Amino acid sequence: MSKAAEYLLELEKADFRILQSIEVGMRTSEYVSIETVVEFSKLTIDEVIKRIDALHFKDLILRWKGHYIGYQLTHHGYDVLAFRALSERDVIVAIGRELGKGKESDVFFAFDKKQKTVVAKIHRVGRPSFKRSKKLRSYVGRRGHINWLYKSRLSAEREFQGLKLAKEIKAKVPNAIDQNRHIVVMDFFDGIELVDAYDLKKPLKVFNGIMTQVRKLFVKGNIVHGDLSEYNVIVTPKHDFLIIDFPQYELANHPNAKEYLFRDIKNLCKFFNRKFSIESNPKEILDVIYSEYEEKLQKKKK
């Protein structure tokens, strides 16, 4: 279980106010002082001091001792704030075990108020790391302290948007339920990653199905996935499948869209060739899809 899930029930309203005050304070200063927390949270200084120690002990905030004492949210602290917001909206009422871990996300099972299983994908872009932080700071300058927080939220927003756009044209993607900060909540699809699907009886059927979706997304939905591969398709033994992992999507009129589309197509052609000996011509597939897209644009102009 995530640390956030563990603490979500223990924390009191005043604790959340403190965490939130630190979150707001971090927009303007690297380390948020106790005085700022007192000001934003409208709690007494005694209460802030008492609670801030407990929050620090729980690893939800980070303490810095310089010419003053200041605090930052840890990613556990940020998780707590996002989960709390989602549970206040009744989107999820409980968090379950970990379902998967990507390079830039932690994915958990969660449950909505009707006990339905859903998925909470926590985006973690630019996870703070001790080794890299010095170098990172020189890249991102003064706002380095909130870089991971900002990038992770942006990534979640983008994924939520991408899933919505894809769903509008009824593409085979998970239904996105809600998003708060760096967390996206979506429907759970009970399958396995295509990369692990050794016993697909009709691989050609799945290959054609995915290419049909790629075409639909581009021509009808005006978007390209941008990170499509055997890791981002989930399949069932009955050959049903969904395309997941949308934070990298781009609009079809983006200057590099055609290049991304080609890359997506090539990834899948290569995989199906290697694993299932399916022969295909990525360039031909690209040309078919792209000319159909251009035709649509021409028609619109008239």
Ligand X SMILES: Nc1ncnc2c1ncn2[C@@H]1O[C@H](COP(=O)(O)OP(=O)(O)OP(=O)(O)O)[C@@H](O)[C@H]1O
Q: Which residues bind ligand X (CB under 6 A)?
A: 99-100, 102-105, 107, 119, 121, 174, 186, 188-189, 193, 227, 231-232, 234, 244-245
Q: How far is CA 123 from the centre of its chain?
A: 4
Q: 119 touches which of Mg ion, ligand X, none (CB within 5 to 8 A by kind)?
A: ligand X
Residue 39's nearest CA partner among 60, 21, 66, 65 is 21
Q: Which of 46, 79, 199, 227 is catalytic?
A: 227
Q: Pick between residue 102 and residue 237 the one whose CB is nearest to Mg ion.
A: 102
**Both tokens assigned to 227:** 């990170």
Q: 152 touches which of Mg ion, ligand X, none (CB within 5 to 8 A by kind)?
A: none
Q: 188 touches which of ligand X, Mg ion, none (CB within 5 to 8 A by kind)?
A: ligand X
At its nearest, how many Å lie between ligand X and the CB of residue 2?
14
Instruction: Answer yes or no whether residue 245 interacts with Mg ion by CB under 5 A.
Output: yes
The sheet with strand 32-33 has its strands ordered as 32-33, 69-73, 61-65
Instruction: Answer yes or no whether residue 21 interacts with Mg ion by CB under 5 A.
Output: no
Interacting span for Mg ion (CB under 5 A) from 45-53, 82-90, 101-109, 182-190: 101-109
Could you confirm whether 227 is annotated as catalytic?
Answer: yes
Sites of contact with Mg ion (CB under 5 A):
102, 231-232, 245
Q: Which residues are catalytically annotated?
A: 227
